Amino acid sequence: MTTKHLVDKHTIEILQTLQLKAQNPAYYTGLVSGSIEARELKDIFSPIDGQFLASVAFADEKEYEYVITTAQKAFPIWQQIPAPKRGEIVRQIGNKLRLYKEPLGKLVTLEMGKILQEGLGEVQEMIDICDFAVGLSRQLYGLTMHSERPEHRMYEQYHPLGIVGIISAFNFPVAVWSWNAMIAAVCGNVCVWKPSEKTPLTAIATQHIVNEVLQENHLPEGIFNLIIGDKKIGERMAKDERIPLISATGSTAMGKQVAQNVAARLGKTILELGGNNAIIITPNANLEMAVRATVFGAVGTCGQRCTTTRRLIVHKDVYETIKEKLVKIYQNLPIGNPLHSQTLVGPLVDKQALENFKKALIDVQAEGGKLLVGGEVLTDNEYAKGCYVTPAIVEAKNHYPTVQKETFAPILYLIQYEGEVANAVQIQNDVKQGLSSAIFTTNLLEAEYFLSHRGSDCGIANVNIGTSGAEIGGAFGGEKETGGGRESGSDAWKAYMRRQTNTINYSTQLPLAQGIRFEINL
């Protein structure tokens, strides 16, 4: 299986550009000339067929310091530009991404393995958040409060923090960066981005695209910065007092370490961590809708979304019907090269993900689970060099240790419940993660219970929509071990700002709050 004949000239040119600049500091800020000695090189291979894509250089201490100091110098300049003017730069970035949507979307697929429709959708998500941020740049509002003191005015305003550190994960190699970077930028911050070491090429390509806009507007380097490295770079960023805010996306284990390091210096964090998302199907559900949403949620991105549907909690009255429908669909899922238009399930990201998939299935069956369908690692000639599996469905109990954990692979645990919807909600909430959740029902009382304070404990709760595929207009994030962070829409922008309360006395007197009298003779 090959990908070369499916990659257009523009995409090949992007890869060639990346390879030609492998010894250039442009890897980090993208605007510096000269050469460096590569301290460490990492070869990047496509999970589609093992094809070599490029080698990237990891930053050392010298390059890291260069990036941070460059960002520090850029911040005073960028924050002085009026917010709507910053929004204009973001608007141009969105337009530039429109021009590069197809090749960049293909590069996402080549490097990460998600199907082309999802790769293109990820770039569209970047474009959408640019549009959102442009409007936001004219709406960075504060509040006015009435003072208890006469002829006093109180209000609050928001100021940028400085450098925002962004640590992103492989499964959304560019979109999640844009959620943070575009919002942070219109707020007046500069950004330092460390992408996953598994998917650096899409990040580098995106950096070059952004740099075109900065150069066209004669803006200084250091507003948007990129640094390539492994977890050591992420740890350095988390401990760096020059970075007031770290936004980190990844596993719960990674997030806990980031949180400890940032908290030790009293910094701020936005954490988007693991999910163990469930769909509840009640007897009052539209079963066709529920099945469609379950399949996309469970096998989309080959089960490698933080919002992937991992548990399906089904009432006993419709359990067998749902099971039969899902098994039949899973037996006929189009698995293969994600660049092919008919493919719905591409590969896992790498061999380690394959091992995690296999281990989880072994463990859950040892705990009492029953494998209904799938669970194979595909190794014939068509798939031998890739990372392909058949998505699995396992009958299980919610308390099984493996079900309680997040396995970043296409494994769906089928769980039965009886009685009222409250019983299903209790099962859903009985995990440590709290990202996304959904219920399928046409019963108003069940839907409202699910959305009430007694219902879902997740940051995202949907009715008659699956767990995956959130829109950028709403704040994205979860509770419990998901980290509590919020990104993207709504008022998530406030996390990238520092709040300041102001009081103005426009009288000639000096009254004190709470009626305190403090008289002195002058």
Which residues participate in catalysis according to the annotation? 272, 306
3-state helix, strand, coil in the chain (%, to 5): 40, 20, 40
- Position of tokens 């559900």? 285
| Residue 100 token pair | 């590069």
Burial of 177 (0-12, 13-18, 19+ CB in 10 A): buried
Q: Considering only CA atoms, give the Rg of the chain.
A: 25
Separation CA 449–CA 248 (nearest Å): 32
| Residue 15 token pair | 């890869």
How many CA atoms lie within 13 Å of 357's alpha carbon, on the beta-carbon side? 27
CB 209 within 8 A of CB 104: yes
In DSSP notation, 100-143 reads THHHHHHHHHHHH---HHHHHHHHHHHHHHHHHHHHHTT-----
What residues are paired with 371 via a beta bridge? 394
3-class secondary structure, 369: coil
Residue type at 303 in one-letter notation: G
* CB within 8 Å of 462: residues ≥ 6 apart: 436, 437, 438, 439
CA-based angle 146:147:150, to the nearest 5? 120
- In this structure, the number of other CB atoms found within 10 A of the CB of residue 342 comes to 8
249's torsion region: left (phi>0), alpha (psi -120 to 50) or beta? beta
C-alpha distances (whole Å) from 99 to each of 94, 127, 207, 326, 342 are 9, 10, 15, 39, 25
Residue type at 442 in one-letter notation: T
CB 156 within 8 A of CB 142: yes
| Residue 20 token pair | 């030609």
